Chain A
């Protein structure tokens, strides 16, 4: 979040994952450094965690079958075996997430007052890493907002071990 932006009177959400204080490069995060009190988020961070929550949700859940993507299912099914398949799966999932967010936003009263730095205009897959030993796939994404700001974040996913 930009230190010079005025975030007063923003519509807020609760932090999905705790922010790492003063991050310096890549760093192992463990439960021991978590804080007991959750914090609220707004701005681009709120949009990022909303994007991540929808991206990682599996479609066909009860009571909201349209929410989520097929990306996790494909990963668990072991079909993401090549770079091209990962790119293709991400493209479809990304399109689903953007559509869900835009549809929900247009039905919300918040649509007229939502600041530009919370409106995601584009998400690009920059890179990915596969750790077969840990059954972990990490997607490095670049989110660009309607305000013109960009932010990189890593979307970690883990396949269940058999």
Chain B
């Protein structure tokens, strides 16, 4: 940071001036240093200003010279942290932009042109814009054109428009059904709303966080050890939040146990490429296979390494998205069965699928047949399918398989982490004179905290309380498990398709781990969505 005289405080100056006067008078006691004298006003005062400026610059330099000093107070010294880390070719991650699709309703059946300068805004002022220009037609003729659909009532028309937030931040992860308006609407525009939950928004990495990953960042950048794999991948893929690698001898490493003895050379890399687990929405055409049952398939690389299907609904439906413990499906979804297998064509990695598809779970090789229970009339129908997908699983696998990059002596496979989706409910009591706080703000704080945790974390009620009390005035939160107290729980899908739940004051994955289905502290991360955190604020 550069300083000039306007950055010098009165205290800085007073200290410098009094020091100078003291030094001068100790050497020359017969000099008159009172206010108004030439010695004071024209010489000492100017010297004191320059001295305090140099002192400030020197102090700043010495603080940025030492990593331990920066670690003691990283916030507020972000510029110094960035400069120091540049010596190690480490860059602090900037926040990411939330994205999603809008269902845009229009009045007329004609061709529309959507430009990148259009802005869609929520009631709270969050702004989003399309990343590309689109032509919307009822019968698209050009590549990339969007389809204009007619609502079954025949009263309006609609199309799906991908948009991205104009600024970074998790607050832009608005829920499904959020209404949008346009200050400069195009002709025919009626209304727009979020087709599904937006995801992908995150805040910038703080100085503390980037200093925390420095050991991994300065490790040897090769795909050999845990540190070096983490370092190499995080350098290449800036979206990666954290990495966990399991290798020879680890209980959750199943691929080294194909023979009598464990063998080396097998590694599974769990890459947390998200804060909140993003949702991808697909339109899938399903075929009736029996009365009341439709089937569609998810082929390899369509949604690489997807975690689970969150909901299957009608094309233009808006579901009430809440968490159901035990199943992770949302209210309003059709019941479905997700049968997973693998497409190993051209795959050089060692998988044993003779007894099931646990070893290929959450990799890019995973495929599935999905059977939907829906009492519909037609032989084929379109469904809206919402899927939790970790980004870049295929890209990371391709990178590690690159002959120029990959470890010549190892078989490394990338998986989406097992996401333990957390739900919490609590009542927060504030003092009567506390500044008013919307419960939505507290929800954001809790969601941010949970999504920032990493592998091996033990999530507890007291940590959440601490995160809230650091930011807000709180008199108490009832931590008991009573109906008026705080509830904390999570649910995750194991590699064999079973659901595992955990609840209590402390969520410790080690207490419910099942390595044979890849559920251990090394493979599981906590994640939270806004709609699953319920906070009531009470002034007492």
For the complex, is A62 an interface residue (Cβ under 8 Å from B)? Answer: yes
Size class of the contact patch on chain A: 20 to 34
Within 8 A of B (CB), among A5-23: 9-16
CA distance A79 to B30 in the complex (A): 42
Known: A11-B30, A11-B31, A63-B49. A51 touches B10 (CB 8 A): no
Q: Are A110 and B35 in contact (CB under 8 A)?
A: no
Give A114 Cβ to nearest chain B Cβ, in Å.
9
Chain B neighbourhood of A51, CB < 8 A:
36
Give the contacting residue for A46; candidates B13, B32, B35, B45; CB below 8 A: B32
Write the chain A residue with the least CB distance to B8: A63
For the complex, is A112 an interface residue (Cβ under 8 Å from B)? Answer: no
Q: Are A110 and B38 in contact (CB under 8 A)?
A: no
Chain A neighbourhood of B49, CB < 8 A:
63
Chain B neighbourhood of A62, CB < 8 A:
5
Chain A neighbourhood of B37, CB < 8 A:
13, 46, 50, 53
**Binary interface encoding of chain B residues 322-351 relative to chain A, with 1 for a CB under 8 A from any of its CBs, else 0:** 000000000000000000000000000000
For the complex, is A26 an interface residue (Cβ under 8 Å from B)? Answer: no
For the complex, is B39 an interface residue (Cβ under 8 Å from A)? Answer: yes
Give B320 Cβ to nearest chain A Cβ, in Å.
62
Q: Are B34 and A108 in contact (CB under 8 A)?
A: yes
Give B29 Cβ to nearest chain A Cβ, in Å.
8
For the complex, is B506 an interface residue (Cβ under 8 Å from A)? Answer: no
CA distance A64 to B17 in the complex (A): 11
Q: Are A101 and B36 in contact (CB under 8 A)?
A: yes
Give A12 Cβ to nearest chain B Cβ, in Å.
6
Chain A neighbourhood of B36, CB < 8 A:
50-51, 53-54, 67, 100-101, 104
Q: Are B35 and A12 in contact (CB under 8 A)?
A: no
Q: Are A49 and B38 in contact (CB under 8 A)?
A: yes
Within 8 A of A (CB), among B176-218: none
For the complex, is B75 an interface residue (Cβ under 8 Å from A)? Answer: no
Q: Is the interface of B mostly helix, strand, loop or mixed?
A: helix
For the complex, is B395 an interface residue (Cβ under 8 Å from A)? Answer: no
Give A95 Cβ to nearest chain B Cβ, in Å.
15
Chain B neighbourhood of A14, CB < 8 A:
38-39, 43
CA distance A105 to B34 in the complex (A): 7
Write the chain A residue with the least CB distance to B35: A104
Give B531 Cβ to nearest chain A Cβ, in Å.
54
Q: Are A53 and B38 in contact (CB under 8 A)?
A: yes
Give A132 Cβ to nearest chain B Cβ, in Å.
30
CA distance A63 to B39 in the complex (A): 16
CA distance A99 to B220 in the complex (A): 70
**Binary interface encoding of chain B residues 1-38 relative to chain A, with 1 for a CB under 8 A from any of its CBs, else 0:** 00001001010010001000000000000111011111
Q: Are A53 and B34 in contact (CB under 8 A)?
A: no
Chain B neighbourhood of A50, CB < 8 A:
34, 36-37
Give B16 Cβ to nearest chain A Cβ, in Å.
10
Chain A neighbourhood of B5, CB < 8 A:
62
Known: A53-B41, A62-B5, A63-B49. A12 touches B30 (CB 8 A): yes
CA distance A65 to B49 in the complex (A): 15
Q: Are B32 and A100 in contact (CB under 8 A)?
A: no
Q: Are A104 and B34 in contact (CB under 8 A)?
A: yes
CA distance A16 to B48 in the complex (A): 20
**Binary interface encoding of chain A residues 67-96 relative to chain B, with 1 for a CB under 8 A from any of its CBs, else 0:** 100000000000000000000000000000
Chain B neighbourhood of A42, CB < 8 A:
32
Q: Are B31 and A12 in contact (CB under 8 A)?
A: yes
Give B302 Cβ to nearest chain A Cβ, in Å.
66
Q: Are B34 and A63 in contact (CB under 8 A)?
A: no
**Binary interface encoding of chain A residues 26-70 relative to chain B, with 1 for a CB under 8 A from any of its CBs, else 0:** 000000000000000010001001110110010000111001000
Chain B neighbourhood of A105, CB < 8 A:
34
CA distance A101 to B34 in the complex (A): 8
CA distance A9 to B512 in the complex (A): 89
Chain A neighbourhood of B10, CB < 8 A:
63
Chain B neighbourhood of A54, CB < 8 A:
35-36
Give the contacting residue for B45; candidates A10, A64, A100, A101; CB below 8 A: A64
Known: A14-B39, A53-B41, A63-B45. A110 touches B13 (CB 8 A): no
Q: Are A16 and B38 in contact (CB under 8 A)?
A: yes
Give B56 Cβ to nearest chain A Cβ, in Å.
14
Known: A63-B49, A64-B45. A110 touches B34 (CB 8 A): yes
Give B117 Cβ to nearest chain A Cβ, in Å.
46
Write the chain B residue with the least CB distance to A118: B32
CA distance A101 to B40 in the complex (A): 13
Chain B neighbourhood of A101, CB < 8 A:
34-36
CA distance A42 to B31 in the complex (A): 10
Write the chain A residue with the least CB distance to B10: A63
Give the contacting residue for B30; candidates A10, A67, A104, A108; CB below 8 A: A10
Write the chain B residue with the least CB distance to A67: B35
Give A54 Cβ to nearest chain B Cβ, in Å.
4
Give A13 Cβ to nearest chain B Cβ, in Å.
5
Since A12-B32, A101-B35, A104-B36 are in contact, a sample of 8 more A-B pairs with Cβ atoms closer than 8 Å, ordered by chain A residue number, is A11-B32, A16-B38, A42-B32, A51-B36, A53-B36, A101-B34, A101-B36, A105-B34
Would you list the 9 A-B pairs with minimal beta carbon distance, nearest first?
A50-B36, A54-B36, A104-B35, A14-B38, A11-B32, A13-B37, A63-B13, A13-B32, A53-B36
Q: What residues make up the interface of A, taking CB atoms closer than 8 Å to B?
A: 9-16, 42, 46, 49-51, 53-54, 57, 62-64, 67, 100-101, 104-105, 108, 110
Sample (29) of A-B pairs whose CB atoms are under 8 Å apart: A9-B30, A10-B30, A11-B30, A11-B31, A11-B32, A12-B30, A12-B32, A13-B31, A13-B32, A13-B37, A14-B38, A14-B39, A46-B32, A46-B37, A50-B36, A50-B37, A53-B37, A53-B38, A54-B35, A63-B49, A67-B36, A100-B35, A100-B36, A101-B35, A101-B36, A104-B34, A104-B36, A105-B34, A108-B34
